[in-house]
Amino acid sequence: MKEGTPHSGGVPGFFTGLSMPIATHVADPGNDRSRIDARNDALFRGILRVCALLVLAALLGAALSTLWGGREVLFGDGWHFLASSQWNPVENRYGAWAPIYGTLVTSLIAIVIAVPLSFGIALCLTEVAPLWLRTPVATAIELLAAIPSIIYGMWGLFVFVPFMAAHVDPMLDSTLGRLPFVGALFRGPPLGLGLLTAGIVLAIMIVPFISSVMREVFQTVPARLKESAYALGSTTWEVVWDIVLPYTRQAVIGGIFLGLGRALGETMAVTFVLGNAYDLSASLLMPGTSISSSIANEFNEAVGLHRSALIALGFLLFVVTFVVLLIARRMLRSLKRKEGNA
Amino acid sequence: MSANVYRRRYAKNVVAQALASAAALLALMFLAWILWVTVSRGVQAIGVSLFTKITAYADQGGLANAIIGSLIIDAMAIALCAPVGVLAGAYLAEYARGTRMGETIRFLNDILLSAPSIVLGLFVYVIVVLPMTAATNGSITFSALAGSIALALIGLPVIVRTTDEMLQLVPSTLREAALSLGIPQWKLTVQVLMRAAGSGILTGVLLALARLAGETAPLLFTAFGNNYTALSPLAKMASLPAAIYQYTNDPNPAMHAIAWAGALLITLFVLALSLIARAVFARQKTSHE
């Protein structure tokens, strides 16, 4: 290779893996052009790198700043903050258990409803529905994810809450509410507002995320596996349950965690339909609160320790969603690797 | 006996398929329900005063200042996150392919993509609003700039991811051809690859705009709100989502009607953007074939 290769190195570009030799640095003082190119390349690379590191900085910053903002409560009260269910701005005492409970319960309800629904949608769109119908239906369901969360909140408050109060709550109270043990979960006045309503609205919001992951991974199942099963006389249901689902299990769980991460952090939709009450109640029909709705409702009126407590709640929410999303992405990523090796 | 087994398997299959179709129908029904409510209630309240009067008139007014505010905040947010996102995506696709750092950033970017927006709002509150308040002795507190930074953090991961994916789709023959002509890598990236992936990158920017335009939670304690028209990026500024939130919490039904009109505007804007983004993306696909 001659000296003065126009593309001078020092830049481990996309082709570093190739056997093509790269000039390390051109020390020819006469060759200005290549030196300028090399400098520009290094500069460009530096700028790009800084931009990419901003992503990292955003996540780290979000964690650290909420930790800092909530330090008075997090380090001052310690475990008491987590375990106490007393949230009293008048006496300036804050316990996070009620919002944590509300967040966990609503997300759990959302997952319980959304997972079978999403599985059904994915099954329908990969095996059952006629080919011409699949793309438009999939697009329509993905549009559910594009609707802003405040619209879900308004629809929830003005349309779905009265619907729940008029039809679903009384029905649950008079049927499931009569059962021993689990009955306590479904007993209560027909308020419409409450943990169950919030969970259902969340379920509708996360269905597009879970179902699109499921649909995508169901499509990666090699046709020969499915065809073999069909050739042995399996029904569509048996193929999906015994072949497709075991093959894609890890990614399906990843998709579910992705939905869970969304549900945990959702704010606007929940705020309107949850009722904002710090009372802990056994019944799902009673109002509650959640981490995100507490922050949204109270932050602008809060001062001092109250504000610190809300920021501390934000820190808790961030840590929990981070862990959930971490699990989700790990599971989804290992599937990608498997695909690549196959 | 075997006929019995067969019948049971057959019945199970029919039930499963029926339930699956019912699930898809249920999701479509909710989509139709939500859209129908938004459109039917929104249309009733849309009138000239919605675009000409400001929120200070309350139920006699409109959303003019909120619409202007949203346009300003969204434009600033996209102006902040589009260049950074495209460059970061280019770094992942062109400079960090297969490296450990690239993988880590890609992974964290995916997490940022679904991080709770309210926490990003708190983050901006702590790093922008509080220092600004302290630095100006309280004359500048909440600001449109803070709001747009919070929204930019929501749009950023969308752009990074799409740019990364779109650049990776560009055939490597293009890179090899350009490099063999002696073009430096930065020129290759900017003038060849980004141009080839142009409409894909545009898709990402449009999707990011669609995502951040509907966000409410982070605006509440960054841009706050304003009952009058504000144009300065350092002033408290009204925005459509925040105004809707405020109006929905109001007990007055006349305010709810205005909120529905605002909701319709946002929904139309966001859905139109996502559909345009899909169309642009489809064009990108065909141009590569």
Same domain, B93 and B17: no
B108 in the same domain as B195 = yes
* A116 part of a folded domain: yes
**Same domain for A128 and A48:** no
pLDDT value of residue B288: 52
Residues A208 and A316 in one domain: yes
Report d(CA B70, CA B64) in Å as an integer: 10
Q: Provide the mean pLDDT of chain B.
A: 91
Indicate yes or no: CB of B216 within 8 angstroms of CB of A267. Answer: yes
B32, B175: one domain? no
How many CA within 13 A on the CB side of residue B93? 29
Q: Searching chain A, which residue's CA lies closest to the CA of residue B123?
A: A62
Stretch 160-199 of chain A: residues touching chain B, C-beta under 8 Å: none
**Cβ–Cβ under 8 Å, residues A274 and A289:** yes
For residues A156 and A33, state if they share a domain: no
Domain count, chain A: 2
Same domain membership, residue B256 and residue B138: yes
Among B144-148, B163-167, B228-232, the range scoring the smallest mean pLDDT is B228-232
C-alpha distance from B78 to closest chain A C-alpha (Å):
15
* Same domain, residue pair B123 and B96: yes
Residue A155: closest CA among B28, B40, B38, B241: B38
Instruction: Using a CB–CB cutoff of 8 Å, tell me whether A283 touches chain B.
Output: no
Same-domain pairing of A61 and A107 = no
Which residues touch A141 (CB under 8 Å, ≥6 apart)?
A121, A207, A208, A211, A212, B24, B27, B28, B31
Q: Which residue has the tokens 């409510």?
A: B37
Tell me: do A309 and A198 sit in the same domain. yes
Find chain B residues with C-beta within 8 A of A153's C-beta. Answer: 245, 248
Record: contact A295-B90, CB cut-off 8 A = no
Compare all CA atoms of chain A with the CA of B33 and give the residue at the minimum distance: A155
Q: Which residues share a beta bridge with A88?
A: A93
How many residues in chain A? 342
Residue A53 and residue A165 share a domain: no
- Check if the beta carbon of residue A273 is closer than 8 Å to that of residue A163: no
Does ipTM come in above 0.85?
Answer: yes
The reply to whether B85 and B162 lie within a common domain is yes
**Residue B222 in contact with residue B124, Cβ under 8 Å?**
yes
String of b and e for B113-145 (b: at least 16 CB within 10 Å)? bbbbbbbbbbbbbbbbbbebeeeeeeebebbbb
| Per-residue confidence band for A266, with pLDDT thresholds at 50, 70 and 90 | very high
Residue A20, domain member (yes or no): yes
DSSP codes of every residue in B223-288: T---SS----TTS----HHHHHHHHHTSS-HHHHHHHHHHHHHHHHHHHHHHHHHHHHHHHHHHHH
For residues A60 and A168, membership in a common domain is answered with: no
Together in a domain, B11 and B52: no
CB A168 within 8 A of CB A194: no
Is B65 found in the same domain as B35?
A: no
Task: Tell me the residue range of the domain where A29 lies.
Answer: 14-69
Mark which residues 183-202 of B lie under 8 Å from A by CB.
183-186, 189
B5 and B89 together in one domain: no
For B271, nearest residue in chain A (alpha carbons): A146
C-beta atoms of B88 and A152 within 8 A = no
Domain identity same for A115 and A255: yes
Does residue A154 belong to any structural domain of this protein? Answer: yes
Q: Are A130 and A236 found together in one domain?
A: yes
The DSSP secondary-structure symbol of A241 reads I
Number of structural domains (chain B) is 2
Closest-CA residue to A85 (of A291, A280, A290): A280
Over the stretch A306-318, which tens digit does the pLDDT of each residue have? 999 999 999 999 9
Q: Mean of the pLDDT values across residues B113-126?
A: 93
Q: Of A69, A85, A115, which closes a domain?
A: A69
Q: What would the pLDDT profile of B59-88 be if each residue is shown by its tens digit?
A: 888 899 999 999 999 999 999 999 999 999
User: What domain range includes position B9?
Assistant: 1-45
Q: Which of residues 135-174 of B touch A (CB under 8 A)?
A: 153, 156-157, 160, 172
Q: Give the position of tokens 């119908």.
A: A133
Shared domain check, B110 and B248:
yes
Task: Answer whether A267 sits within 8 Å of B97, measured CB to CB.
Answer: no
Q: Name the domain boundary from B45, B61, B81.
A: B45
Considering the domain architecture, whether residues B144 and B27 belong to the same structural domain is answered as no
Interface of B with A in 211-230 (CB under 8 A): 213-217, 220-221, 224
For residues B162 and B41, state if they share a domain.
no
Residues of B in contact with A317 (CB under 8 A): 116, 118-119
In terms of domains, do A41 and A150 share one?
no
Query: Which chain A residues are within 8 Å of B31, Cβ to Cβ?
Result: 140-141, 143-144
pLDDT at B152: 96
A104 and A43 within one domain: no
Distance from CA of B53 to the nearest CA of A (A): 23
Output the domain CATH number for residue A284: 1.10.3720.10
Full-model pTM: 0.89
Residues A42, A104, single domain; the answer is no
pLDDT of A109 reads 95
- Using an 8 Å CB-CB cutoff, list chain B residues near A51: 83-85, 87-88, 91
Mean predicted confidence (pLDDT) in A10-24? 47
For residue A252, tell me if it sits in a domain.
Answer: yes
Q: Which of A136, A203, A148 is nearest to B272 (CA)?
A: A148
